[in-house]
């Protein structure tokens, strides 16, 4: 998701912190962590939620309180490139330490090159499904992220956590 660097960024960040707190009260939301990458990226913000199962997002407890329409209209009008891709794969934990990093490669088409070795292959199983596959690699401050040359049909982003992983109270 992209949000402009302007005077209400602090207010937006405060709203989003409260939004995450609200989501973590919904049965089935197990963790939440928010990330930011270079501001010139198409979508420099991202939140990752670990869910009990994919049905969490279709239950009334979620649909009545969350989703696109749960965002304050003032903020929603400024949010662009807001894609929600539900993925699953071999990573049981996508938590990133405060000094760590998360590198994502999004494959946008099935004919895009395969993911490089070492990246977890995450299949898109729901919501907006704006990509074919997502690759994830997580590291800490003791390991530098790899230098991955973008290929046709890929978006490569390197994220830093905005906050530690949060859990339901």
More confident residue, 54 or 40: 54
Closest by CA to 126, choosing from 64, 38, 67, 42, is: 67
pTM beyond 0.75: the answer is yes
pLDDT in tens, 56-83: 999 999 999 998 788 888 888 888 878 8
Residue 156 pLDDT? 95
Q: How far apart are CA 138 and CA 167, in angstroms?
A: 20
Domain residue spans in the chain? 9-161
């Amino acid at each position: 998701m992209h949000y402009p660097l302007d005077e209400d960024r602090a207010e937006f960040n405060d709203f989003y912190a409260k939004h995450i707190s609200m989501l973590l009260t919904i049965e089935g939301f197990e963790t939440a962590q928010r990330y930011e990458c270079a501001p010139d990226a198409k979508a420099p913000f991202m939140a990752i939620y670990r869910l009990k199962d994919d049905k969490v997002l279709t239950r009334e407890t979620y649909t009545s309180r969350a989703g696109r329409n749960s965002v304050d209209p003032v903020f929603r009008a400024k949010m662009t490139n807001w894609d929600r891709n539900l993925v699953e794969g071999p990573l049981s934990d996508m938590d990133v330490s405060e000094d760590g990093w998360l590198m994502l490669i999004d494959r946008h088409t099935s004919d895009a090159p395969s993911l490089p070795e070492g990246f977890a292959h995450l299949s898109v199983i729901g919501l907006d499904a704006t990509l074919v596959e997502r690759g994830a690699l997580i590291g800490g401050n003791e390991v530098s992220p790899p230098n991955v040359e973008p290929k046709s049909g890929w978006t490569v982003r390197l994220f830093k956590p905005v906050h530690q992983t949060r859990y339901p109270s």
